[in-house]
Amino acid sequence: MRRFQLLINGEWVNPIGDAWIESKNPFNGEVWAEIPRCTANDVDKAVNAAHVALTKGAWAEMTASQRGMLLHRLGTLIARDATKLAEIEVQDNGKLFAEMSAQLNYIPQWYYYYGGLADKIQGSTLPLDKKGYFCFTRNEPIGVVAAITPWNSPLLLAAWKIAPALAAGCTIVIKPSEFTSVSTLEFARLFEEAGFPPGVINVITGFGSEVGSALVEHPLVSKITFTGSDTTGKLINQQAAAHLKHTSMELGGKSPNIIFEDADIKQAIYGAVSGIFAASGQTCIAGSRLLVQESVYDEVVDKLLEIARTAKMGNPMDSTTQVGPVTTLPQYQKVLDYIEIAKKDGATLLLGGLPGRAPGCEKGWFVEPTIFGDVKNHMRIAQEEVFGPVLSIIKFKDEEDAVAIANDVRFGLAAAAWTKDIGRALRMSEKLKAGTVWINTYRAISYMAPFGGYKDSGLGRENGQDAIKEYLQVKSVWINS
């Protein structure tokens, strides 16, 4: 078993309280690593280090192009270590190695992209309405950033925050989830090798209520960028509001995936399967509500069951495995609870519904791919985020009905529509209230495409050129000539 230390001010240290948290492998429930259980004292050390690095020394004096080059170098180091980092992610969160490997090989792009943008941050000169004055704007780093990430894709979601924040000239303290901190700690070994001065990026670990909260409250933190549940996001926003701190929030979802009768049904069904069952449903963009037009409902359900029934459960490191475990024990129990709630509310169980007990999986936190039919949109299974391999199928009559059902939920992270009618595709892109709308595809993401939520799914956007603005503040400079 490996014990990991914290990275504060460029040094690897034990937590002040010398307390540790066990990291368990979801495939077999075994403890495979220990991570530091920090307290507010460690938070204070990390934030102070980030504040010093922000205000004086090598990072503060660096040009934007030099910052960009460091980000680029970090990207190349991640590419070099992609396999090792992917293996750690699998041990920590149980996702399939194939998926984590693809993710790790894509993550460097965020560092290259924002590294390239670092020296393109420009102010403007203003055509003033006052004679004798000259006015221009400067874009300055917003300050010390606290980045809090969830357990489902630690390194990908950290990249969405670290790359633009550093490109903007900020310094950062990252707090990964207590369930999956190891990959972030291992990744942090690359910061020094990439050439980042001490204190620019710090990693602390521990429980949200102890460490996350202390980070949010710390007076030297100017901005909180958070990815996680909407419950925690709202709590953090309340705390941040008391100190007028800036926040960006990437929260949960209950995304509708709509199959119209004119869709390429085969393609749509594959989209539906990967939409919900990839990563065992533990993605914020999971297509957990499948809306199917009544004229093709039976056909879609039959074919969907045929495919889902054959999904192979197993060791996530095995290349033939299609369904891995749920990442945490509490989450595993929550998913099974939701299955019971759905049955009680009158949804029809069409597939699964039980803990996964395939050979070799007995000790892990597996849930069978589960499909409910005859779901009504008001049911809890259609309204609340399960974050597991559970699909709710809802029947609709026509386009108007589909839009009404799709939008009748408090989340708005993503939505998809499957249709061959270009007019309908365009109408859907306008009418679906979500930060991302896919037409005839599901799950596509890119460092270039803004990502974020409508409604309870979040505040602000990550990815794309504008994400850098989340880490900048504008100063107007007036000169009396």
Positions marked catalytic: 250
Collapsed DSSP state (helix, strand, coil) of residue 64: helix
Number of residues that bind ligand NAD (CB under 6 A): 31
CB of 145 to ligand NAD, least distance (A): 14
- Closer CB to ligand NAD, 368 or 385, in the complex: 385
CB of 293 to ligand NAD, least distance (A): 27
Out of 253, 352, 389, 412, the only residue in the binding site for ligand NAD (CB under 6 A) is 253
In total, the chain counts a number of residues equal to: 481
What mask, x for binding ligand NAD by CB under 6 A, covers residues 202 to 241?
Answer: ------xx--xx--x----------xxx--x--xx-----
Choose the stretch contacting ligand NAD; rule: CB under 6 A; options: 15-23, 119-127, 248-256, 421-429. 248-256
- Closer CB to ligand NAD, 216 or 406, in the complex: 216
Choose the stretch contacting ligand NAD; rule: CB under 6 A; options: 78-86, 244-252, 334-342, 423-431. 244-252
Out of 203, 413, 428, 467, the only residue in the binding site for ligand NAD (CB under 6 A) is 413
CA distance 34 to 181: 9
- Which is nearest to 203 in space by CA: 19, 7, 468, 382? 7
CA distance 352 to 367: 8
Percent helix, strand, coil in the chain (nearest 5)? 40, 20, 35
- Closer CB to ligand NAD, 153 or 419, in the complex: 153
CB of 286 to ligand NAD, least distance (A): 8
Choose the stretch contacting ligand NAD; rule: CB under 6 A; options: 71-79, 80-88, 175-183, 422-430. 175-183
CB of 411 to ligand NAD, least distance (A): 9
What mask, x for binding ligand NAD by CB under 6 A, covers residues 133 to 162?
Answer: ---------------xxxxx----x-----
- Which is nearest to 221 in space by CA: 211, 232, 231? 211
| Exposure of 76 in the CB half-sphere (CA atoms within 13 A) | 9
CB of 69 to ligand NAD, least distance (A): 28
CB of 365 to ligand NAD, least distance (A): 14
CA distance 50 to 170: 9
- Closer CB to ligand NAD, 207 or 262, in the complex: 207
- Closer CB to ligand NAD, 137 or 274, in the complex: 274
CB of 450 to ligand NAD, least distance (A): 12
50 is written with which tokens? Answer: 């980030």
Out of 42, 89, 92, 178, the only residue in the binding site for ligand NAD (CB under 6 A) is 178
388 binds ligand NAD (CB under 6 A): no
CA distance 355 to 379: 22
Angle at the Cα of 104 from the Cα atoms of 102 and 109, rounded to 5 degrees: 100
CB of 253 to ligand NAD, least distance (A): 6
> Dihedral through CA 236, CA 237, CA 239, CA 245, nearest 10?
120
Out of 372, 387, 418, 442, the only residue in the binding site for ligand NAD (CB under 6 A) is 387
CA distance 38 to 49: 16
- How many C-beta neighbours within 10 Å does residue 436 have? 23
Strand partners, 12: 7
Residues 261-290, interacting with ligand NAD (CB under 6 A) = 284
CB of 395 to ligand NAD, least distance (A): 26
252 binds ligand NAD (CB under 6 A): yes
What mask, x for binding ligand NAD by CB under 6 A, covers residues 427 to 456?
Answer: --------------------------x---
Out of 175, 223, 254, 289, the only residue in the binding site for ligand NAD (CB under 6 A) is 175
Residues 452-481, interacting with ligand NAD (CB under 6 A) = 453, 458
- How many C-beta neighbours within 10 Å does residue 70 have? 22
Q: Which helix (H) or strand (E) holds 439?
A: strand 436-439
55 is written with which tokens? Answer: 């205000």
440, 419 in Cβ contact below 8 A? yes
83, 209 in Cβ contact below 8 A? no
- Closer CB to ligand NAD, 83 or 446, in the complex: 446
Out of 23, 93, 171, 177, the only residue in the binding site for ligand NAD (CB under 6 A) is 177
Write down the H helix ranges in 177-264.
182-187, 189-194, 213-217, 230-242
162 is written with which tokens? Answer: 């670290």
Secondary structure (DSSP) of 360-427: T-TTS--B--EEEES--TTSHHHHS---SSEEEEEEE-SHHHHHHHHH-SSEESEEEEE-S-HHHHHH
Secondary structure (DSSP) of 79-115: HHTHHHHHHHHHHHH---HHHHHHHHHHTHHHHHHHH
23 binds ligand NAD (CB under 6 A): no
- Which is nearest to 363 in space by CA: 94, 21, 90, 3? 94
Binding site for ligand NAD (CB under 6 A): 148-152, 157, 175-178, 208-209, 212-213, 216, 227-229, 232, 235-236, 250-253, 284, 385, 387, 413, 453, 458
